[in-house]
Copies of this chain bind each other. A is one copy, B any other.
Amino acid sequence: MTAVSTRQPVAILGGTGALGRGLAARLAAAGHRVTLGSRDADRATASAAELAESLAPAVDVERLLFGAANAEAAATHDVVILATPWDPSGDSIRELADPLAETVVISAINPLGFDVTGPYGLDVVEGSAAEQVAASLPNSRVAAAFHHLSAPSLLKLSHDLSGEDVLVCADDDRARVTALNLAAAVTGTPGIDVGPLRQARQLEPFTAVLIAVNKRYRTRSGLALRHVDRNRASLPEVALS
């Protein structure tokens, strides 16, 4: 793997939600310039300011957290994380196809349902939300990651996440390597490459398992893989700007 910049600016669409703000907090704390995207630009800006204030004085992220409308955030970044709610129609993603062309797009979308028996994975026509994203954004470079991190744990910067693994899948090597590196910025540990994008069919609904465990054991559980030497993967050589 070639040396890469670990300080790429990152936009997080759906960034005013809990997972989006949590990822933003960790990325900003690691020195990334982060733009929270929302349908409403004013709301995004307010959310970014609020988040910066909540993290101070532990971390000075005031000049690293911004807000913008989703389309503007998408158009002005080379790396975009989707932390948007699951949209079965795909319309909200498809309308960003132009601004997201050539962009690395990392889906953290979890299509989950809840009923009297608890959380469960929704049926997705395309197989997974990440595959729906890839179908909706034919000119983007799509990966999936960050499904299993607890939003409250992300937001509490003192909470050590280095024992939790970010599982990454992608069909595009540049997207894969970008997500693996961003995982290191978020948790302190590089992500684990679990293969092609269709593995998102396993990653996304596994979040239902963690949520069920959280309720039964009154905790915020996380996922880890054992016996994986993160430097041993045969990763592609990808030059990242």
Contact = CB atoms under 8 A, between A and B. Distances in A.
Contact of A227 (B167, B199, B222, B232): B222
A58 interface: no
B229 A196 contact: no
A212 B195 contact: yes
Given A163-B226, A213-B194, A208 B202 contact: yes
Interface string A201-232: 11101101110110011111111111111101
Tell me if A's interface is mostly helix, strand, loop or mixed.
mixed
A102 B229 CA distance: 44
B221 A228 contact: yes
Nearest to A120: B198
Contacts of A239: none
Contacts of A227: 219-222
Contacts of A208: 199, 202
A170 B201 CA distance: 22
A212 B194 contact: yes
B232 A218 contact: yes
Contacts of A195: 117-118, 209, 212-213, 216
Given A217-B228, A225-B223, A225-B224, A202 B206 contact: yes
A229 B219 contact: yes
Interface of A: 117-118, 120-121, 163-164, 167, 192-196, 198-199, 201-203, 205-206, 208-210, 212-213, 216-230, 232-234
